[in-house]
Amino acid sequence: MTTSSLRRRLLLATAAALGAPALRAQGSGPAQLPQLRVGFQKSAVNLVVLKQQGTLERRFANTRVQWVEFPAGPQLLEALAVGSLEFGLTGDSPPVFAQAAGKDLLYVGAEPAKPLSSAILVKGDSPLKTLADLKGRRVALQKGSSAHYLLVRAVDKAGLQWADIQPIYLPPSDARAAFERGSVDAWAIWDPFYAATELDIQPRVLATGAGLSSNNSFYLASRPFTENHPLVLQALFDELTRADAVVQGSRKEAAQRLSDFSGLSLAVVHLFLSRRPPSPVAPLTPAIVADQQRVADAFARLALIPKPVKVAEIVWMPTKVARS
């Protein structure tokens, strides 16, 4: 597809999202869906746009839509697994840990890879210059997050063993505090926390996900919701893709809206959006499933999950569901 044709598609989708009346999901039975609880993080740009615009509330007028914010993917998936959510977005690692722990949830959709949106940071004056310098060092990260896999791959690339580093498991806010006061030597983190730290204290980047981690984003859902409302899922993907077109076609306005919502500075939002490619939403392709299996296998080899898992076993197959 040429750049001009892509631009035309984005502008058309933007116009539809901003100007067209909200559509109903034909046959999706919103009246039979009493509630739709959506888990999101500050980095979940498409979901944040939908929340701000009230799109789902209009499209599913007979459904109570609730939005629940989480600091990271592991916490979100725990809520999904215990029945406190129907739908949510995480990075690549949280679903692997959830599946290995026997959580009953399904991969239902994915966004394109965002390898530049996560990084391993050190202080500007740190003596650490290469990934190999992480040996023996304390590295902060959210356990089971996308940053966890990035660090696993970075350690491997450096020729080190996982036992050669000291992982310090902290949620993003606590990890940043530890990083700033020097309680840890490095920090594996994702946007927008990465962008905020980059602008506030000007750390050095030891590595991004480029060449290490695709940093895929996945939409997951509870099994009952997926099996009972497959057309609602398709409607969600349509709206999420329209939301992405709004961001791509009106970057300045979208950044201001995201800043107003999140409390992040406009500069931070612009920086993390600059690392985010166009992100339409669709069911998982075989290539994405294979990429995610590599994530699962890496954690299994290091015994960081209790057992190996087969990602494909919990991937939603829309055509099969629709025929059932």
With cut-offs at 50, 70 and 90, classify the pLDDT of residue 318. Answer: confident
Shared-domain flag, residues 34 and 130 = no
Residue 49 in contact with residue 257, Cβ under 8 Å?
Answer: yes
Shared-domain flag, residues 246 and 125 = no
Distance separating alpha carbons of residues 59 and 193, to the nearest angstrom: 32
pLDDT at 204: 97
Shared-domain flag, residues 283 and 316 = yes
Shared-domain flag, residues 259 and 300 = yes
Would the pLDDT of 320 be above 90?
no
Q: Which of 189, 208, 227 is the last residue of a domain?
A: 208
With cut-offs at 50, 70 and 90, classify the pLDDT of residue 319. Answer: low
Shared-domain flag, residues 156 and 289 = no
Would the pLDDT of 260 be above 80?
yes
CATH of the domain at 178: 3.40.190.10
Shared-domain flag, residues 238 and 109 = yes
pLDDT in tens, 69-108: 998 889 999 999 999 999 999 999 999 999 999 999 999 9
List the helix and strand counts (H, then E) for the chain: 14, 10
pLDDT at 32: 77
Shared-domain flag, residues 252 and 291 = yes
Q: What is the pTM of this model?
A: 0.84
Shared-domain flag, residues 221 and 194 = no
Token pair of 187 as six digits: 């920090």
More confident residue, 259 or 21: 259
What range defines the domain where residue 288 resides? 3-114+216-270+277-323
Residue 115 in contact with residue 143, Cβ under 8 Å?
Answer: no
Shared-domain flag, residues 202 and 220 = no
Instruction: Tell me: cis bond preceding 192? Omega within 30 of 0 counts.
Output: yes
Shared-domain flag, residues 163 and 228 = no
Residue 141 pairs with which residues in a beta bridge?
A: 169
Estimate to the nearest angstrom the gap between the alpha carbon of 148 and the chain centroid: 13
Residue 229 pairs with which residues in a beta bridge?
A: none
User: What is the domain count for the chain?
Assistant: 2
Q: Which of 208, 239, 256 is the last residue of a domain?
A: 208
**DSSP one-letter code for 285:** P
The set of residues, in sequence order, having a beta carbon less than 8 Å from that of 26 and lying 6+ positions away, is 231
pLDDT in tens, 30-40: 437 899 999 99
**Residue 9 phi/psi, 5° resolution?**
-65, -40
pLDDT in tens, 212-223: 999 999 999 999
pLDDT in tens, 57-73: 999 989 999 999 998 88
Estimate to the nearest angstrom the gap between the alpha carbon of 23 and the chain centroid: 26
Would the pLDDT of 28 be above 70?
no
Q: Which of 156, 185, 208 is the last residue of a domain?
A: 208
Distance separating alpha carbons of residues 122 and 205, to the nearest angstrom: 6
